[in-house]
Amino acid sequence: MNTNTISYTVHDSPLGPILLAGTSQGLQHITFDSEKHPKHAEANWQQSAKPFGKACKQLDEYFAGSRKIFNLRLALVGTEFQQKVWQQLLEIPFGDTCSYGDIATRLNNPKACRAVGAANGANPLPIVVPCHRVIGANGKLTGFSGGLAIKDWLLAHERGEQTLFSFDELQGIC
């Protein structure tokens, strides 16, 4: 991958197709096809699966239950505050959850819950930067770029709650 050239691939997952995009600097985007406004490859992007071999392998391992931590080069683009929030997301252990308030407190700014929520919602790398592990202070699920059904599926997956159904089959049942 060239530093300025964005490459992309579409990878099949239990949650449906996901788009991965990035440059030679690292992975920049993961987008679910189920999003309200899914990110699609732009005209100047180059389709190539090769740069994403490691990311796809690690995502497959995550979905298979054999990977809990990702080891990928990331090229997160965001404000200084967003970067701090995203770094906090990387600290949430597999299978655990925390609230927006917890993250605001860790950032020494306990009143920044809404700003943390906005930064969490702007996370361009769901799953790898586990924004799905952030829930409301009341313990309820709150927004997620891929939708609450995917967030619920990811959390159940991490708790080891196995299902005989794929995500698509569960959508048809619920």
Residue 166 lies in a domain: no
Give, for all 174 residues of the chain, the pLDDT tens digit: 445 789 999 999 998 899 999 999 999 999 987 655 556 778 889 999 999 999 999 999 999 989 999 999 999 999 999 999 999 999 999 999 999 999 999 999 999 999 999 999 999 999 999 999 999 888 888 888 788 888 999 999 999 885 545 555 544 444
The token pair at 43 is 């005209």
| Residue 39 confidence (pLDDT) | 66
Q: Which of 16, 39, 64 is the last residue of a domain?
A: 64
The CATH number that applies at residue 16 is 3.30.160
Q: Which of 64, 91, 111 is the last residue of a domain?
A: 64
Range of the domain at 151: 80-158
| Residue 102 confidence (pLDDT) | 95
Collapsing DSSP states into helix, strand and coil, what is residue 11? strand
Active site residues: 131
Residue 69 lies in a domain: no
Q: How many domains does the chain have?
A: 2
DSSP code at position 74: B
Which backbone phi and psi does 59 adopt, to 5 degrees? Answer: -65, -45
| Residue 149 confidence (pLDDT) | 86
CA 150 – CA 155 distance, rounded (Å)? 9
| Residue 42 confidence (pLDDT) | 82
| Residue 161 confidence (pLDDT) | 80
The token pair at 114 is 């809404």
| Residue 37 confidence (pLDDT) | 53
| Residue 148 confidence (pLDDT) | 86
Instruction: Report which residue type is found at 64.
Output: A
Strands 26-32 and 7-11 come out as unpaired
Residue 172 lies in a domain: no
DSSP code at position 93: P
Tally of helices (H runs) and strands (E runs) in the chain: 6, 6
In this structure, the answer to whether residues 60 and 84 fall within a common structural domain is no
Instruction: Report which residue type is found at 9.
Output: T
| Residue 174 confidence (pLDDT) | 42
| Residue 164 confidence (pLDDT) | 43
